[in-house]
């Protein structure tokens, strides 16, 4: 199983050539690059303020920084099920805010579902049942390079429920992307922030209204009509978008317009949404938070019980307000490391160390250096992957559990240190 995007493709061949493992045959540039990078991850020492130290010393120093901190935040969360459980246990234990990088985009969908409900589907149902798939956005095929393999008929229609499938694209579809379809999709070319406008106009065609909603000249009427007819002719249409793409100002209105169109089409025929998450870690940590606390991220444990607020406790809001004196960055699956433009102290538990950390503790990549469970983007499948290499790299969960044990030792001699309910296992 490939852990490098939300699709979690489970057909990756890892081959050994010249004494090195690699995934050369996979038809995906992201997987090729990240398998290569991860399988050749150089060994890194633990560090305290740039000075090499043993793991034990780094863990002790991390526990010491946590003890001194008054308002810590557990962030990043580019980790697996075990890492998310341990991170939540740590946040609960020390009264921290816990927020993943993509909680705002995740909330665009989860918030809509909580407030108004909505129709979503799974990748398997898209694969086997959808006779019309509408892509929304700009970069779906570069963010999910094997998406078409997942949903193209012929390779994947195991049950033969449908014999034909049409594609449409609202947004920007490059000529390279268009050429990847057997037949080019019906294209409604627009900017990303106009997708909501187009879906609202389309919705008028599926609602009992007296007045015709005029289509702005910007969007060709002929293509709009063709798309309306395609939807009318389809038994089961699916609208597919990348959640992270819609994290722009008023992106929530665009996502709401998509859900409203789905609701309207469902008056007479079947339609569902399929939001895709770029990172399987986002889906995974939110699943774990929901089953452990009954709420998704971001959560604040400072009052002693988990409080949810989608914007107030978002990672960027906390840093902007300078409301954290310590950032505990939990990584493993991150492709890049964000800049820390903050005066807060930093404990980095990660594969990467670009410097500026007060404590750096190296870990391995889930599914490469240690066994892992991760949730696929549609949240209905959790996949297991055994470690691929014998190279010893600790997991984020192991490091956080070691920090928790260090805090335990200390709490035995300091009865004021509180003890909360979430356990890592």
Interface with ligand SF4 (CB under 6 A): 2, 4-5, 7-9, 26, 28, 30-31, 144-146
Q: What tokens were used for 90?
A: 């740590």
Q: Which is nearer to ligand SF4, 4 or 169 (CB)?
A: 4
- Report how far residue 82's alpha carbon sits from residue 329's, in angstroms, rounded to the nearest whole number: 16
Q: Which is nearer to ligand SF4, 8 or 136 (CB)?
A: 8
Check the CA dihedral 45-48-52-53 and report its sign.
Answer: negative
Q: Which is nearer to ligand SF4, 13 or 164 (CB)?
A: 13
DSSP string, 336-393: S-----SSSEEEEEES---S--SEEEE---BTTTB-EEEE-TTSS-EEEE--S-----
- Report how far residue 187's alpha carbon sits from residue 40's, in angstroms, rounded to the nearest whole number: 41
Q: Which is nearer to ligand SF4, 12 or 168 (CB)?
A: 12
First to last CA, the chain: 23
- Report how far residue 6's alpha carbon sits from residue 283's, in angstroms, rounded to the nearest whole number: 8
Nearest alpha carbon to residue 332 among 162, 94, 10, 80: 80
- Report how far residue 257's alpha carbon sits from residue 273's, in angstroms, rounded to the nearest whole number: 12
Query: Which runs of E-coded beta strand occur in 172-253?
Result: 186-189, 236-242
Q: What tokens were used for 105?
A: 């985009």
Strands 20-22 and 46-48: unpaired
Q: Which is nearer to ligand SF4, 9 or 274 (CB)?
A: 9
Only one residue has tokens 């699943």, namely 287
Q: Which is nearer to ligand SF4, 167 or 219 (CB)?
A: 167
Strands 307-308 and 186-189: unpaired
- Report how far residue 403's alpha carbon sits from residue 39's, in angstroms, rounded to the nearest whole number: 27
Residue 369 beta carbon to ligand SF4: minimum distance, rounded to whole angstroms: 17
Q: Which is nearer to ligand SF4, 81 or 88 (CB)?
A: 81
């Amino acid at each position: 199983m490939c852990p490098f995007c939300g699709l979690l493709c489970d057909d990756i061949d890892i081959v050994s050539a010249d004494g090195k493992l690699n995934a050369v045959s996979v038809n995906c540039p992201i997987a090729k690059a990240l398998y290569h990078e991860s399988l050749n991850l150089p060994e890194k020492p633990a560090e305290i303020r740039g000075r090499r130290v043993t793991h034990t010393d780094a863990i002790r120093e991390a526990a010491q920084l946590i003890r001194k901190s008054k308002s810590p935040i557990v962030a990043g969360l580019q980790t697996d099920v075990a890492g998310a459980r341990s991170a939540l246990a740590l946040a609960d234990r020390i009264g921290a805010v816990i927020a993943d990088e993509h909680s705002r985009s995740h909330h665009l969908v989860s918030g809509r579902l909580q407030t108004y409900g909505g129709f979503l589907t799974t990748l398997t149902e898209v694969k086997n049942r959808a006779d019309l798939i509408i892509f929304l956005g700009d970069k779906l095929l570069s963010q999910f390079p094997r998406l078409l393999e997942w949903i193209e008929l012929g390779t994947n229609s195991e049950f033969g429920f449908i014999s034909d499938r049409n594609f449409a694209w609202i947004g920007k579809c490059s000529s390279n992307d268009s050429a990847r379809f057997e037949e080019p999709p019906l294209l409604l070319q627009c900017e990303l922030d106009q997708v909501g406008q187009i879906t609202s106009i389309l919705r008028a065609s599926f609602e009992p209204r007296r007045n015709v909603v005029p289509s702005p000249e910007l969007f060709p009427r002929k293509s709009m009509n063709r798309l309306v007819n395609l939807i009318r002719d389809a038994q089961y249409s699916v609208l597919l978008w990348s959640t992270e793409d819609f994290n722009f100002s008023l992106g929530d209105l665009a996502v709401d317009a998509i859900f409203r169109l789905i609701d309207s089409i469902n008056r007479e025929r079947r339609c569902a949404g399929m939001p895709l998450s770029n990172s399987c870690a986002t889906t995974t940590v939110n699943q774990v938070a929901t089953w452990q606390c009954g709420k998704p991220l971001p959560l604040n444990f400072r009052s002693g019980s988990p409080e949810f607020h989608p914007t107030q406790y978002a990672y960027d809001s906390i840093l902007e307000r300078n409301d954290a004196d310590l950032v505990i960055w939990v990584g493993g699956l991150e492709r890049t490391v964000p800049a820390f433009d903050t005066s807060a102290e930093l404990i980095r538990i990660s594969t990467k160390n670009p410097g500026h950390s007060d404590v750096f503790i190296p870990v391995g990549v889930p599914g490469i250096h240690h066994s892992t469970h991760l949730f696929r983007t549609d949240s209905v499948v959790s996949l297991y992957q055994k470690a691929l290499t014998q190279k010893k790299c600790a997991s984020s969960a192991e490091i956080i559990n070691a920090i928790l044990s260090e805090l335990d030792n200390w709490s035995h001699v300091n009865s004021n240190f509180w003890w909360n309910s979430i356990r890592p296992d």
